Structures are given as C-alpha cells and as structure tokens.
Amino acid sequence: MEYSPTPSDLLFPLCKEGHADGVRRLLEVNASVDQVDGHGRTALYHACRQGHRQCAELLIASGASINQATHKGNTPLLAACHHGHLECAHLLLDASAAADHADNDGYTPLLISSRQGFLACASLLLNAKASVDRAMNGGFTPLFAACNQGHHDCVSLLLEAAATVDQATAHGTTPLLTACQLGHLDCVRLLSLHGAHRPENLEANAVSRGHIPVASWLERSREWCSALHHLDVLQPEYARRLLRQGADLHASARPGAARLS
C-alpha cells in the first residue's frame, strides 16, 4: 500500500522552509505540533533553527511544547541562539522558554551565543536572567568561550554582567590565558581592565605562539594597578562610575611606575 504522509509529517518541511501559510493550513486540520522526527526534533525546533519567526508563532499559538529537547538535548531556544536568530529567541523567551537549559554537552543558550559571537542574543539572554557563569562539561563558561573565539564585544557584555573573570576550565585554563594563547588582544585588554590575574609566564606564552602585539601590550601594562589605566578600552560611563566610586587619578603600582597623570 502506498504511503500517504499525514498533516503532521508535512509540518517539518514547511517549517524548515518557512512556509507560514502552509503551516497555518496544516494546523487548521489538527496537525500534531509536538510530533518528532528521527532525531527527536519538533516542528518548532526546525522553525527556530532556520529563523522562521512566523512559523514559530503559529506553532506556539497552537500549543507547541516550548522546551521539548532533541535526543542530544537541544531545545528550540538553543537552536535559535546557535544560529543567531534573535526574533525567534525573543519569541521563545516570551513564551517562557528555559533560558538556562543545557544540552547533553552542557551548552546553554548564553554559552553558545557567546561562542558564536551573537551579541544581541547574549544580551537578550542576560536580560532574561540567564546564568552568566554556568559552565559546560569541561568547565567552559560563556566568558571563556567568547575569549577563545575572540568575540570582544561579547566579552565586554559578559564582564559588565559580572562574569567571574578568572573562572578556569577543568584543565586550569583561564579566559585570559586562552585569549593570550590565541592572540585576541582586545579580549586581553578587557580582561585586564576587569582585574584578571596574570601568571608570571603569560608574556612568554604569547611570544612562544607568535602573538607579539599581545606580549608587547602585556609588557607595557605590567605595572598598571587601576582600571583607569585602561583608557584604550574603558567606556566613558564605566570611567565615570569608577571616579564616582573614588578611583585614584594618581594611582601607580610603585614609585616611578606608570601614573594616571
């Protein structure tokens, strides 16, 4: 007997391709919104992975499960954040998606957004109270992931959200060390601004990997002792906040060292 696909079967390709009118018609004939494919992915997952907000809206309005995970633990929100689909992420969070749900490897939406460099998604998740320091298997935090990939705008956002600057991986690698090893100078500057600990061999480590600009900056800033020394990366509002809090305009690490004025 010839196989005839059900309305629920047809939801998957329509959601992948973003055909909202077709999705609407299938839902009107009671297509199952929570049927899964062979990987445990729902129609909502497919719509959010591809960034088709209208399809996702229709599915959610029809009662689709917001947090249903695939066999690998991926939710629609994780899929949307992995690909930088801000509108879908916003829609899901408004529908009470779990901002801190982790997949089987420990990736959270904030961690994957930070790793991919999707600043708007990361900001949205932080506003939704996602945990800034939640680490995946192996100890990678969102801050570590952003530093590892050189996404300095995400690094700045996470540090302003009070990410733990020296939180290390299971192997003892800190965000500053990975930024130095990979030559991400802007990330190194931001971490230093926020008080990251510098191990003694940090400059030599950068030199050994051929990252001379990083090593030169580390040497030049070795005696800096105040956040106000970091004028090249210091945002005006942050500088004003430091001054209001009593930061010393004449700070120096020792007699003869670099001073602010």
119-173 pLDDT, tens digit each? 999 999 999 999 999 999 999 999 999 999 999 999 999 999 999 999 999 999 9
Torsion of CA 116, 118, 124, 129, to 10 degrees: 30
Residue 204 pLDDT greater than 70, yes or no: yes
CB under 8 Å to 83, separation ≥6 — which residues? 49, 50, 51, 116
Q: Tell me, rounded to whole angstroms, the distance of Cα 123 from its chain centroid.
A: 8
131 and 217 belong to one structural domain: yes
Report if residue 103 sits inside a domain: no
Write down the pLDDT at residue 238. Answer: 61
Q: Tell me, rounded to whole angstroms, the distance of Cα 64 from its chain centroid.
A: 26
CA angle 62, 73, 145 (to 5 degrees): 115
The Cα-based distances of 66 to 43, 48, 76, 77 in angstroms read: 11, 11, 7, 8
Write down the pLDDT at residue 178. Answer: 97
40 and 21 belong to one structural domain: yes
Torsion of CA 169, 171, 174, 176, to 10 degrees: -130
Q: Which two tokens stand for residue 136?
A: 């995946």
Write down the pLDDT at residue 8. Answer: 77
Mean pLDDT, the chain, as a whole number? 89
Report if residue 7 sits inside a domain: yes
198 and 170 belong to one structural domain: yes
84 and 116 belong to one structural domain: no
127 and 217 belong to one structural domain: yes
Band (pLDDT 50/70/90 cuts) for residue 1 is very low
The Cα-based distances of 19 to 44, 92, 109, 169, 245 in angstroms read: 13, 19, 26, 43, 55
116 and 143 belong to one structural domain: yes
Report if residue 34 sits inside a domain: yes
Boundary (domain end) residue, out of 73, 98, 123: 98
150 and 53 belong to one structural domain: no
Report if residue 170 sits inside a domain: yes
260 and 194 belong to one structural domain: no
255 and 154 belong to one structural domain: no
Task: Report how far residue 131's alpha carbon sits from residue 133's, in angstroms, rounded to the nearest whole number.
Answer: 6
Report if residue 104 sits inside a domain: no
**By residue range, what is the domain housing residue 158?**
110-222
Q: How many domains does the chain fold into?
A: 3
Which CATH number is 185's domain given? 1.25.40.20
The Cα-based distances of 85 to 98, 100, 183 in angstroms read: 16, 17, 29
Boundary (domain end) residue, out of 98, 130, 159: 98
21 and 114 belong to one structural domain: no
Is there a contact between 90 and 125 (Cβ–Cβ < 8 Å)?
no
Is there a contact between 144 and 178 (Cβ–Cβ < 8 Å)?
yes
119 and 61 belong to one structural domain: no
Report if residue 242 sits inside a domain: yes
